[in-house]
Structure 1
Amino acid sequence: MNAERKIKDLIGSHRPFRSILVKPRVFKALTVAGSDPSGGAGIQADLKTFSSFDVYGSAVITALTAQNTTGVDGIFTVEPDFIRRQLTMVLDDLGPQPLKTGMIPTTAAIEVIVAAVEQYKLKQLVVDPVLIATSGDKLVVETTLDALRRLMGHALLVTPNLSEAAQLSGLTLTSFDDMKDAALQIYQTGVRNVLIKGGHLLDDATDLFFDGKEFIFLKEKRIPVGDTHGTGCTYSAAITAGLAKGMPLLDAIVNAKIYITRALKFHLDVGKGSKVLNFRV
């Protein structure tokens, strides 16, 4: 009996989490993307990022990949009807919530997601148009840009990197002026807001936000870490988490930029290839 009392006392006096007497408000966000078994990108990175922001994350998987920090070995696409069933189960139960998309490997999968966005009237959609992995491996099977643009037309924000912005705009991006031209081209396809991630364009890590009225450059000092894995996924997930917590869009972007910079600065060496982000910053 004495041992039993001591255990109960220990449990009661060393609660690692906030008091259960006050029920916390639940912020929710959904990611629709591919799975990365190595944990640094895709669904896994999104859920870790949501958790870092104290956001309850749910996930719909569009594809299984065989990949790690060195590259992609294979992709198994999920049947569009099963993607639809995942979306239905999550949204019928948890309700409408901010949503981000990542890797969507087929046109049919995009059409299913568009239908869900329309059916559930999802207004806070962040589209990360993932086409190629950091390693250079192709991550789409038959997705056409026309199908992707249909999804982008429903988005609050689209977050292409330089190569994706080039494909979406048909332009070559080698300067800040090129980024502005590309953002305008993408905006004119029916997108409400564009964030082009500057990557390695110049010395600083400079991104460009365009809302149809104003070009805003977001600049941070580059973190010299070499190749990294999952930065695009994490950036868009952090923005989505900010939206889930009620932040205005630009505030969510700035907050996510700060987060991704810290996650890079305190990166982790977990494998033989690219560095991965430290999600717990």
Structure 2
Amino acid sequence: MSNPPGPPRAVPPRVLSVAGSDCGGGAGLQGDLKTAAALGAYGMSVVTAVTAQNSQGVHGSWPLPAEAVRAQFRAVTDDIGVDAVKTGMLASAELAGTVADLLAGLGDRVPVVVDPVGVSKHGDPLLAPDALRTLRERLLPRATVLTPNLDEAGWLTGVRVTGEDGMREAAAALLAYGPRWVLVKGGHLPGGAAADLLTDGTGEHWFRAARHPNRHTHGTGCALATAIAVQLARGAAVPAAVGSAKRYVTGAIAAGFPLGGGIGPVDHGWRSR
């Protein structure tokens, strides 16, 4: 005699990544899905572009048609639903505008983490130069949290950051484009600690972590943005979400490992090893 079915299992936080595919598995959609799974969320994806990349660089990139991006987004959101969205590589002005319009359709109920991916870890371009205006005017106003590194902050604002005062200046310039919060990542600055600045224009939150002498950091930005999205999907306040994500990524960097002949990935599943 079979046992009666138990109560239905609770649905984990549903996090949608809208980004490019990294066939090497360290960053992009693959890294986002690994991060979501490691943190107990249910990851879903909208592929914006296919890249051929490995530990040594990006060897090719092919954006998908806007129609394909819209269809994927609608398939997920109309049936499964989402609790948070993370955007990464958008490849072109057309796709950036398409994604901005799709996010607008979700209203204010779904938090959005925008990682303004412009170049790869190896310096390979991942966004068309003519997409800058579209990002500024249409995508950034949709962001609950914007997570640029120093190069991306400079590209978006023209502010060259050489220290923490420059991070404040860049954050203020970015907030003028409409995101609710900006997290300027200062990991590329010299110093004993990796410092990130989170602000909504009314106050500052600094997150500092010890640096680890590990060159295998591929996927760091993707993992951080996705980890923030996971915590927001759970209902965390933005500062708490960023603090939790920072701790997770710091551990993932420390556990990064060599893979291939270049820069290896962070270890998305470090907590379970």
Q: Judge same fold: TM > 0.5, yes or no.
A: yes
Alpha-carbon contact 1:70-1:274 (below 8 Å) kept = yes
For 1:251 and 1:260, how far apart are their aligned partners in 2?
A: 14
1:255 to 241, 244, 249: 244
2:111 to 113, 118, 124: 124
For 1:158 and 1:258, how far apart are their aligned partners in 2?
A: 18
Equivalent in the alignment of 2:98: 112
Equivalent in the alignment of 2:222: 233
- Say whether residues 1:244 and 2:230 are aligned partners: no
Alpha-carbon contact 1:104-1:143 (below 8 Å) kept = no
> Identity percentage over the alignment?
38
- Say whether residues 1:159 and 2:147 are aligned partners: yes
Alpha-carbon contact 2:22-2:53 (below 8 Å) kept = yes
Alpha-carbon contact 2:14-2:81 (below 8 Å) kept = no
Deviations 1:35-89 (A, max 9, x none): 0001000000000000011100100000000100110101011001110111111
Q: Which amino acid is the alignment partner of residue 18 of structure 2?
A: V
- TM-score where L is the length of structure 2: 0.93
How far apart are 1:276 and its partner, in Å?
0.8
For 1:186 and 1:279, how far apart are their aligned partners in 2?
A: 29
Equivalent in the alignment of 2:65: 79
Equivalent in the alignment of 1:279: 268
For 1:154 and 1:20, how far apart are their aligned partners in 2?
A: 40
Structure 1 consecutive aligned stretches of length 4 or more whose deviation exceeds 3 Å:
19-22
Structure 1 segments unaligned to the other structure (5+ residues): 1-18
Structure 2 segments unaligned to the other structure (5+ residues): none
Alpha-carbon contact 1:105-1:143 (below 8 Å) kept = no
Equivalent in the alignment of 1:15: none
Alpha-carbon contact 1:35-1:63 (below 8 Å) kept = yes
Aligned CA distance change for structure 1 residues 211 and 235 (closer, same or farther; 3 Å): same
Alpha-carbon contact 2:112-2:143 (below 8 Å) kept = yes
Q: Which amino acid is the alignment partner of residue 90 of structure 1?
A: V
- SS at 2:142's partner residue? coil
- Say whether residues 1:175 and 2:124 are aligned partners: no
> Alignment length, in residue pairs?
263
- TM-score where L is the length of structure 1: 0.90
How far apart are 1:188 and its partner, in Å?
1.4
- Say whether residues 1:42 and 2:28 are aligned partners: yes
Q: Which amino acid is the alignment partner of residue 209 of structure 1?
A: L
For 1:52 and 1:278, how far apart are their aligned partners in 2?
A: 10
- Say whether residues 1:184 and 2:167 are aligned partners: no
Q: Which amino acid is the alignment partner of residue 57 of structure 1?
A: G
For 2:246 and 2:95, how far apart are their aligned partners in 1?
A: 29
How far apart are 1:97 and its partner, in Å?
2.3
- Say whether residues 1:137 and 2:111 are aligned partners: no
